[in-house]
Amino acid sequence: MKTLNVAITGLGNVGQHIARLLWQRQAPYRKRYGVEVRLVGVCRSRSGLRCAQGLSEDEVLGTEFEAELSGVAFLQGLQADVLIDAGPSDFETGGMGLVYMRHALNTGMHVIAVSKGALALHGPELLQTATAHGVQVWASGATAAALPTVDFVQRQLAGCEVLGIEGIFTGTANFILNQMVHVGMGFDEALQQAQAAGIAEADSRFDTEGWDTAAKITIIANTLFGAGLNLHSLPRQGITDLQAADMAAWQEQGLMPRLIGYVRLDNGQVNAGVAVRAVDAQHVFYRVNGKNKAMRVVTAEMGELCVQGGASSPQATAAAALKDLENLLKGW
């Protein structure tokens, strides 16, 4: 039986969910694909574990990790076919995610990215490195998790010319906008409610200032169109400056504000960004309520298609990463 060795960098909430799902699916992987999938390494920020024969759940969740076995030390001698990076996203430099991904690709490992920073800042470089070494970069967990984005276009629309993509990619921002319009809350009150419900982080600026959407649309544009974009080069708008008067005016006109990430192909040029747009009742985004997300794709041959929904949770993000792994297994 063939084997596929997997390593996970970043063993926080999402990383632990990925590991658990991987263990649960080992038997189905053997039956369906004839492949023994082994977790051969995991690391946190300052410690890690490695075992060429595979780590069990008891070993990972019940064993003291080896100190200093992280970063470069963890990578040295790591015998893995796939690296799943689930560590924190660094949007200034790419952080350790960039270190892990560069090493993995340069040594012939496939990469499944959950953290967004490295791909949002250095996506073109990482994608070129993957091509040069005959491996792939997968990023379902980094581009709206449970909502299919890149894989939807690559597989379901493979025979089409894609003219444009737009989406509601940040559930936190969508929840706040819905509360401001439908309930009449101000931004601060709606944000507090989102935080109390566990939808928004204590420091939610990354979501509300449009950075999260910008990171996702950057990765989508680079992966699908070879756009060569950098997160900080995109025009970006957030929702923090929206006032009650704005909401009242839109509501009077029968419009609904949405924070939308977009990428368009204009005469061979790729244009992407993040903007607040007020859509009417005929638009598919008008009824995307709560913390739901959605994506609309315009094609030359099939017209417009839309996908909507998907949970926003660590388990959903983990399942998105394992979806990428399963797609990789199909050709292993």
| Whether residue 202 has pLDDT greater than 90 | no
DSSP character string of 51-88: -TT---HHHHHHSPPEET-SHHHHHTT---SEEEE-S-
Residue 262: which H helix or E strand, with range?
A: strand 256-266
Does 12 score more than 80 pLDDT? yes
- Count of Cβ atoms closer than 10 Å to residue 54 Cβ: 17
What is the Cα–Cα distance from 106 to 103, expressed in whole angstroms? 5
The SS3 of residue 310 is coil
The amino acid sitting at 3 is T
**Both tokens assigned to 221:** 């544009």
The residue extents of the domains of the chain are: 2-145+314-329, 152-308
User: Counting Cβ atoms within 10 Å, is residue 318 exposed (0-12), middle (13-18) or buried (19+)?
Assistant: buried
> What confidence score (pLDDT) does residue 295 get?
98
- What is the separation, in whole angstroms, between the first and last Cα of the chain? 11
SS3 content of the chain, % helix, strand, coil (to 5): 40, 20, 35
Q: Look at residue 240 and give its three-state secondary structure.
A: coil
Distance CA 5, CA 107 (A): 14
Residue 102: what pLDDT?
Answer: 97
Architecture of domain 2-145+314-329: 3-Layer(aba) Sandwich (3.40)
Q: Which residues contact 187 (CB under 8 A, 6 or more apart)?
A: 176, 180, 239, 240, 242
Q: How is 129-188 classified by DSSP, letter by letter?
A: HHHHTT--EE-GGGTTTTS--HHIIIIITTTS-EEEEEEE--HHHHHHHHIIIII---HH
CA distance 211 to 239: 11
What is the pLDDT at residue 60?
Answer: 93
- Please, is 260 exposed, middle or buried when counting C-beta atoms within 10 Å of its C-beta (0-12, 13-18, 19+)? buried
**Distance of alpha carbon 195 from alpha carbon 179, whole angstroms:** 13
Cα(62)–Cα(54) distance, rounded to whole angstroms?
15
Is the model's pLDDT at 268 over the cut of 90? no
Give the amino acid at 288.
Answer: V
* Stretch (H or E) spanning 91: none
Mean pLDDT computed over 88-110: 96
Nearest to 248 by CA among 186, 188, 290: 186
CATH tag, 152-308: 3.30.360.10
Percent of the chain at pLDDT exceeding 90: 89
Question: In the prediction, which pLDDT does 305 show?
Answer: 96
Tell me what pLDDT residue 7 has: 98
Which amino acid, one-letter code, is at 283? H
Rounded to whole angstroms, the Cα distance separating 274 from 260 reads: 6
Query: Out of 78-92, 227-241, 248-262, 310-324, which region has the weakest mean confidence (pLDDT)?
Result: 310-324
Q: Is the pLDDT of residue 157 over 90?
A: yes
Q: Say if residues 13 and 318 touch (Cβ distance below 8 Å).
A: no
Give the mean model confidence (pLDDT) for residues 17-27.
Answer: 97
Residue 74 CA to residue 70 CA, distance in Å, equals 4
Q: What local confidence, expressed as pLDDT, does residue 48 receive?
A: 95
Q: What is the pLDDT of residues 51-60, one digit of tens each?
A: 999 999 999 9
Q: What is the pLDDT of residue 33?
A: 95
For residue range 298-325, list pLDDT tens digits in order: 999 999 999 998 777 889 999 999 999 9
**232 and 254 in contact (C-beta within 8 Å)?**
no
CA 79 to chain centre: 26
> Given pLDDT bands bounded at 50, 70 and 90, which one contains residue 26?
very high
Burial class (CB in 10 A: 0-12, 13-18, 19+), 283: middle
pLDDT category at 87 given cuts 50, 70, 90 is very high
